[in-house]
């Protein structure tokens, strides 16, 4: 499965139509996924860049639902796989700069 695509959340839902934290953990195995204080969290190792295109890539994500977290992680993985030029275009012009 290509977890970096925006459709990953739909794929994660499988036959039941529900995305669970277990499914998120299994799909995004490089992330530590957990629930705390009614929120779904994920973290992974890596550095944080405060400025420039690499600042779009974060080692921490959270959402109110497992589906929301899956969407955040899909986006992060998609950004991580971009070339430096693609990432710069997104940083300067938004996602439309790399839309198909």
Report if residue 85 sits inside a domain: yes
Q: Would the CA dihedral through 1, 93, 64, 45 be positive or negative?
A: positive
* Of residues 47 and 22, more confidently modeled: 22
Report if residue 87 sits inside a domain: yes
Report if residue 34 sits inside a domain: yes
Report if residue 3 sits inside a domain: no
What is the number of domains present in the chain? 1
CB atoms inside a 10 Å sphere around CB 11: 16
Domain boundaries, position 78: 8-98
* pLDDT reading at 54 higher than 70: yes
Q: How much is the pLDDT for 14? A: 57
Q: How much is the pLDDT for 34? A: 97
* Of residues 83 and 96, more confidently modeled: 83
């Amino acid at each position: 499965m290509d977890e970096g695509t925006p459709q990953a959340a739909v794929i994660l839902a499988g036959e039941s139509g529900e995305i669970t934290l277990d499914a998120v953990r299994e799909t995004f195995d490089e992330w530590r996924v957990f629930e705390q204080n009614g929120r779904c969290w994920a973290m992974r190792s890596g550095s944080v860049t405060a400025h420039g295109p690499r600042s779009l890539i974060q080692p921490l994500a959270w959402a109110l639902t497992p589906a929301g977290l899956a969407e955040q992680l899909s986006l992060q993985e998609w950004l991580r796989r971009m070339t430096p030029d693609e990432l710069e275009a997104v940083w300067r012009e938004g996602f439309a700069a790399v839309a198909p």
